[in-house]
Chain A
Amino acid sequence: MTQRVAQPMTHPRRSRYSALALLRHALRPTPWSRAWRAATPKSNYDVIIVGGGGHGLATAYYLAANHGIRNIAVLEKSYIGSGNVGRNTTLVRSNYLLDGNTQFFEHSLKLWESLSHTLNYNVMLSQRGQVVLAHNPGQLDVLARKGNTMLLNGIDAELLDRGDVMRALPYLDYSDECRFPIYGGLLQRRAGTVRHDAVAWGYARAASELGVDIIENCEVTGFIESEGRITGVNTSQGRIHAGRTAIAVAGHSSHLAAMAGLRLPIESHLLQAFVTEAIKPMVDHVISFGAELFYLSQSDKGGLVFGGHIDGFNSYTSRGQFPKVQDVAECAVALIPSISRLRLLRHWGGIQDMTPDGSPFIGRTVRRDLYFNGGWCYQGFKATPASGWCFAHTIAHEEEHPLIKHLALDRFERHNGFDEYGLGLWPYRQ
Chain B
Amino acid sequence: MLRIHCPHCGLRDYTEFQYGGDASKPRPAHSDTNRSHWHAHVFLFDNPKGLHREYWQHRLGCRQWLIVDRDTASNLIKQVQIGPIAPASAP
Contacts and interface: CB of A to CB of B under 8 A. Distances in A.
Contacts of A428: 19, 21
5 contacts: A314-B54, A321-B1, A412-B42, A425-B43, A426-B21
Contact of B42 (A314, A316, A321, A356): A356
B2 A321 contact: yes
Contacts of A425: 42-43
Nearest to A323: B15
A267 B19 contact: no
A264 B46 CA distance: 7
B39 A427 contact: no
Interface string A405-430: 00000001100000000000111100
Contact of B47 (A268, A317, A323, A356): A268
Interface string A303-326: 000000000111111000111000
Nearest to A314: B72
Interface of B: 1-2, 13-15, 19, 21-22, 35-36, 39-40, 42-49, 52, 54, 56, 70, 72-75
Contacts of A426: 21
A356 B72 contact: no
Given A316-B72, A321-B1, A321-B2, A267 B45 contact: yes
Could you say which of A314, A323, A413, A428 has the most chain B C-beta atoms within 10 Å of its C-beta?
A314
Interface in A116-151: none
Contact of A266 (B39, B42, B45): B45
Interface of A: 252, 254-255, 258, 263-268, 312-317, 321-323, 356, 412-413, 425-428
Nearest to B52: A314
B43 A321 contact: no
A335 B49 CA distance: 36
A355 B47 CA distance: 11
Nearest to A355: B43
A312 B14 CA distance: 10
A276 B42 CA distance: 40
B74 A254 contact: no
Contacts of B47: 254-255, 264, 266-268, 314
A252 B36 CA distance: 25
Contacts of B1: 321-323
A426 B72 CA distance: 18
B44 A265 contact: yes
A315 B21 contact: no
A313 B19 contact: yes
A255 B21 contact: no
B43 to A, nearest CB: 4
A321 B15 CA distance: 10
A313 B53 CA distance: 12
Nearest to B40: A263
A321 B21 contact: no
A322 B36 CA distance: 40
A317 B42 contact: no
B36 A413 contact: yes
